Amino acid sequence: MLAAFDDHHGIPELGGLLPLSKAAIGGAFALTFVAIRAVIWPVLAYHLTNDCRAVLADGTAHSPPIVYAFLTGLLGLTLLQFFWLVEIARRAPAEISAALSTARRSDAKAA
């Protein structure tokens, strides 16, 4: 839903027309991203890593190269999760400020 407010990839000027909606959807996206990808993802990645290490250690892995491929993919995806988290934290204050500023201007015009 947030992509619809993007001027380049969504509906041009939608964010200007509905600044509070853009801010609310952006905030909801950021909160769910943090909850799922910054809290739940590392816990599940930890458990998967332990399971992979266990099957490698006891020799029950059907194909050790496949297990290592899963671990490599998991590492890459986990690094992306944290990169995106930093990007959200970096951009969120400016996005919120811009949305609130636009909302104030809209309210001033209406009055």
Contact 55, 61 (CB under 8 A): yes
Every domain of the chain and the residues it spans: 41-104
What's the chain's length in residues?
A: 111
Residue 94 has pLDDT above 90, yes or no: no
Question: pLDDT at residue 74 above 80?
Answer: yes
Which has the closest alpha carbon to 25: 38, 39, 11?
11
At which residue do the structure tokens 């992979």 appear?
Answer: 52
DSSP code per residue over 19-37: HHHHHHHHHHHHHHHIIII
pLDDT (mean) for 25-42: 91
Per-residue pLDDT, 10: 87
Residue 59 · residue 67 · CB < 8 Å: no
Distance of CA 99 to the CA centre of its chain: 19
Q: What would the two tokens of residue 106 be? A: 């809209």
Residue 111: per-residue pLDDT: 62
| Contact in structure between 75 and 48 (CB atoms under 8 Å) | no
CB 5 within 8 Å of CB 11: yes
Q: Are 101 and 23 spatial neighbours (Cβ–Cβ below 8 Å)?
A: no
Tell me the pLDDT tens digit for each residue of 14-27.
877 888 888 888 88
pLDDT at residue 97 in the model? 82
